[in-house]
């Protein structure tokens, strides 16, 4: 339910949040630093709106958001870094179109081994599950919005 957002929160802001008070987040703090905060979808919309406007915003963290943030800070280490590297590598393969080309190239050998119907069904399943080979969805306005949000460094994944 909560989404991880990258915010560079100061110690004073963290103390305010722990005391149940709201605090102001400057535009320079959004998407920078190394802290990921768990936010409710309504707070995520406020962050996205601030990024698109290039302004700051006021944030009030609920006890659930604070608890989820603290819970996710435990246990990153080696396995967290490994999983992050795998996700980043897959994103590069998908965004550059290499995953689509590899999946298309695998259809012929799979058809020879398992039959053409199975190969086509497997390719369609791969496309549905991963999105590799699916043409851009949505209007250009949405794509530009998403590109700006991804480029801001807000999200963990």
- Asked if residue 64 is part of any domain, the answer here is yes
Q: Are residues 19 and 64 in the same domain?
A: yes
Which tokens hold the place of 103? Answer: 């999946």
Same domain, 28 and 56: yes
Cα 134–Cα 139–Cα 144 angle in degrees, nearest 5: 95
Residues 93 and 71 in one domain: no
- SS (HEC) of 76-133: CHHHHHHHHHHHHHHHHHHHHCHHHHHHHHHHHHHHHHHCHHHHHHHHHHHHHHHCCC
Residues 74 and 98 grouped into a single domain: no
Give the model's confidence band at 76: pLDDT under 50 very low, under 70 low, under 90 confident, else very high.
low
Determine, yes or no, domain membership for 96: yes
Looking at residue 109, what is its pLDDT? 86
Residue 157 in domain: no
Residue 156 counted as domain residue: no
Domain shared by 72 and 132, yes or no:
no
Collect all residues with Cβ–Cβ distance below 8 Å to 155 and sequence separation of at least 6.
3, 4, 5, 6, 149
Is the domain of 22 the same as that of 7? yes
Q: What's residue 137's pLDDT?
A: 44
- Pair 67, 90 in one domain: no
Q: Say if residue 138's pLDDT is above 50.
A: no
Examine residue 67 and state whether it is found in any structural domain, yes or no.
yes
Q: What is the mean pLDDT of residues 15-31?
A: 89
- Give the predicted TM-score (pTM) of the model: 0.48
Express as a percent the part of the chain with pLDDT over 70: 80
Residue-range definition of the domain harbouring residue 123: 81-137
Domain total of the chain:
2
- Is the pLDDT higher at 84 or at 63? 63
């Amino acid at each position: 339910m909560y989404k991880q957002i990258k915010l560079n929160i100061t110690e004073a802001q963290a103390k305010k949040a722990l005391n149940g008070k709201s605090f102001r987040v400057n535009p320079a703090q959004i998407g920078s630093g190394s802290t990921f905060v768990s936010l409710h979808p309504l707070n995520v919309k406020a962050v996205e709106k601030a990024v698109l406007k290039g302004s700051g915003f006021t944030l009030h963290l609920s006890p659930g958001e604070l608890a989820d943030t603290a819970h996710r800070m435990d246990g990153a280490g080696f396995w967290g870094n490994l999983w992050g590297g795998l996700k980043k590598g897959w994103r590069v393969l998908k965004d550059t179109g290499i995953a689509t080309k590899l999946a298309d190239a695998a259809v012929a050998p799979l058809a020879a081994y398992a039959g053409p119907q199975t190969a086509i069904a497997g390719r369609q399943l791969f496309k549905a599950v991963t999105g590799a080979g699916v043409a851009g969805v949505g209007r250009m306005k949405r794509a530009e919005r998403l590109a700006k949000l991804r480029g801001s460094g807000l999200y963990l994944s």
